[in-house]
Structure 1
Amino acid sequence: MASRSMFNCLLRPASQARSAAPIGRCVAQKSATTVRSSRPCRRPISTSRPRQSQQPGDNPKFTSILDNPPELIRTGRKHGPGLIILAIIPITAFILGTWQVKRLEWKTDLIAKCEDRILRQPLPLPPRVDPDAIADFDYRRVWTTGHFRHDREMLVGPRMRDGEQGYMVVTPLEREGGPETTVLVNRGWVSKKLGDQSKRPDSLEKGEVKIEGLLREPWKKNMFTPDNRPDKGEFYFPDVHEMAALTGSQPIWIEQTMDPDLLQVYDYEARGIPIGRPAEVNLRNNHAQYIFTWYGLSLATSIMFYILVKKPPTDITRRVRMNKSW
């Protein structure tokens, strides 16, 4: 009994310490709670919204990229307005190139005909000429005689020659048949500073003259050329019918030709004598360049169309197409 009482005495301090520990812990917790309550409230660290209980996948009308990839990223779409336009361009360019081939043949034949007419001997110009037949005699060399009507002279321009501005001198030529046989003669170019007749008396030929030139259809007005103003004596392009009605002449246009050497050209220019054109064909023929341009455009756009249609899919498109079979 003595030994048991001694053992209990040894164990009592330990049990009392264990029982005192919860009491001390409760006191410490109570004091910590009191300190926290006395401090100001702090903001929470996370500001994210709470997760919604319903997800997009819960909606029965929801369509994911795995369920229908062609409609979401157009993996199956190969045609559209841009591709259709790109397909039309090479076809149109090829048609235009073929049309230019026909135009080249026509222009080559026309130049050959005109050059053949120039090589022939000049014909005497009949008193009356049918204006509708001029197209069949374009660039045909002719000669005639008459008197220049300098009082009805007209200046067409401005026209450039060797970088200098000037005018084309157009003078009616009265022939032996009377006023109804008068024709319009483009005598040639004079500089702008000698446009006034009083400054070039050597150009006003008197008496009967013989001229040689080409029957021509004069150039036409383009969209940038202003309208003629006959009331002010301003002519920007040769309107043959208008000029013939103004001077009482036939609507026949003759371009006087000459082939002066360099010294004569300088002398004519200084004295104000009109410098006629050489007897040569000056028709422009750029259709070969147009053929190269249109066929080249057709080839280039065809290659672009082929590359675009046969272009391999990207990695994302390939993966989406593979996921379509899930």
Structure 2
Amino acid sequence: MLRLAGITPSLRRCAFQRHQLFLARYQIRSVKTSTVDWKPIHTSKTPDDHERQNHPWARRFFLTLMCAIPVVSFYLGMWQLRRLKWKTELIAQCEDRLTYDPVPLPQKFTPEMCEDWEYRRVVVKGEFKHEEEIFVGPRVRNGIKGYLLFTPFVRKDTGERLLIERGWVSEDRVLPTERGLQHLSVPRGDNVEVVCLVRKPLTKGRFQWDKTDDESRVWQVTDIPAMAAATGTLPLHLQAIEDFHNHHWPVGDSDRAAANSSSSGSGPWWKFWKKNGGKTGPEGVDAPMASAAVPSSQSDSIEYNEFQFMREGVPVGKVPAVDLRNTHTQYMLTWFGLSFFSTVLLFFAIRGSKGSAVSQSHLKTSKLKHARKNT
């Protein structure tokens, strides 16, 4: 104590300066900084401030897109809700029409009336033109390849030509001469009565195949306007209802003579498709028309089943049921779900952009202030 008391203030300052020079020369730290990290500063800026200033349009675009997705998806969900209500009412109307008794097809029936008559059962009487049959397919039924058979039909009361979808036939029974039960598979005469369902005429979709071979009788998809133009019939879509009963329609002498003359003719009367070289039929041979005589032993009380019709080549008609698809419920739930989740994501995105990010400039300033406090 006596020795320190005898040191003058000038000597103390000199000793302190030498001590500081010694520490600076050998870089010895005399102050310990805290090892505890400082808390981040909450600000509206982010570490990507510089990039945002260079690309402001990208942020605006994505923000606008995130705001538009909930609104647009909610609108589409409401639209599907209205479509669901409309389709449900339409199916109910069609099912109600199926309960009506069959009525004769009006004489002045136009394609514009099909929508109001859809799934209504009608009766037409006249004659089939089997030599003008056309097909749509292939279609598979019970694991068997076949085609939908469309046959022109001449009405007895008005003489109009209609196009009737008679039903499905197997591939090996497309030729009328190869079919059994000729009185049912190839009925003759102008007294044939057919019960049909009125359907709205189908047209080919935008992404469906076009018919490339004009001489072919096969269509890949149902295109009623084009098929009606090719057969000279009205553009109506009539589906024959499945009927497994045995029918005997009266056949006149003129019809028998026409059938015999067609079977004894020299040229081919019918072609499934035409190949190069003039060959006709699936096997490339001409097929004469067989007689349409009906065995007298058969009775009108006989009833067949679907497999017998398929084996004999009798067209299997349409089951009288409404087959309109109604998938608007799934679409509605999809759009509403997208609207909900996009709204949640937008909420968290807006909430996170307000004060949750750390600015680099503020972070550097905070570090310098913290270092000065501990020096």
State the Cα distance separating 1:246 from its structure 2 match: 2.6
Secondary structure of 2:101's match?
Answer: coil
Of residues 265, 278, 285, the one that matches 2:306 is 265
Q: Which has the higher helix share?
A: 1
Q: CA RMSD in A?
A: 3.0
Matched, 1:281 2:260: no
124-133 or 103-112, which moves further after superposition? 124-133
Residue 293 of structure 1 and its aligned partner are, at CA, apart by: 0.4
Answer 1 or 2: higher relative contact order, Cα 8 Å, separation at least 6. 2
Residue 170 of structure 1 contacts residue 186 of structure 1 at CA under 8 Å; is this kept in 2? yes
Q: In structure 2, the residue corresponding to 1:190 is in which secondary structure?
A: strand
The CA distance in 2 between the partners of 1:88 and 1:316, in whole Å, is 25
The answer for the alignment partner of 1:232 in structure 2 is 216
* Partner residue, 1:193: 172
What does 1:87-102 align with in structure 2 at a 5 Å threshold? 87-102=67-82
Question: Which residue of 1 is the match for residue 200 of structure 2?
Answer: 217
Provide the C-alpha distance between the structure 2 equivalents of 1:116 and 1:255, rounded to a whole number of angstroms: 18
The letter of the residue matching 1:292 is L
DSSP 3-state at the match of 1:284: coil
Percent of aligned pairs with the same residue?
A: 34
> Which residue of the partner structure matches residue 184 of structure 1?
163
TM-score under structure 2 length normalisation: 0.61
CA distance 1:167–1:71, shift in 2 (3 Å): same
Alpha-carbon offset, residue 220 of structure 1: 2.9
Aligned equivalent of 1:72: 50
Q: Work out whether residues 141 and 213 of structure 1, in 8 Å CA contact, stay in contact via their aligned partners in 2.
A: yes
CA distance in 2, matches of 1:223, 1:206: 38
Q: Deviations over 1:151-202 (max 9, x none)?
A: 01110112233343321100111121354x1211100011223223332243
Give the counterpart letter for 2:331 in structure 1.
Y
Describe the SS at the equivalent of 2:114.
Answer: helix
160-169 or 149-158, which deviates more: 160-169
Letter of the aligned partner of 2:215 in structure 1? D
- What's the TM-score, normalizing by structure 1? 0.70
Deviations 1:188-235 (A, max 9, x none): 011223223332243212223211011111333223421134422221
Question: What pairs with 1:1-326 in structure 2 (closer than 5 Å)?
Answer: 71-72=49-50, 74=52, 79-177=59-157, 179=159, 181-202=160-181, 203-207=185-189, 208-228=191-211, 229-258=213-242, 260=244, 264-311=305-352, 317=358, 320-321=361-362
Q: Check conservation: 2:47, 2:359, Cα contact below 8 A.
A: no
**1:244-266 deviations in whole A, cap 9, x for unaligned?**
23323222221011265997111
2:140 match: secondary structure: strand
Which 5+ residue runs of structure 2 have no aligned equivalent? Answer: 1-45, 246-302, 370-375
Taking the aligned partners of 1:297 and 1:73, their CA distance within structure 2 comes to 31
Radius of gyration: which is bigger? 1
Partner of 1:25: none
Q: Describe the SS at the equivalent of 2:116.
A: helix
Structure 1: distance between partners of 2:66 and 2:80: 22
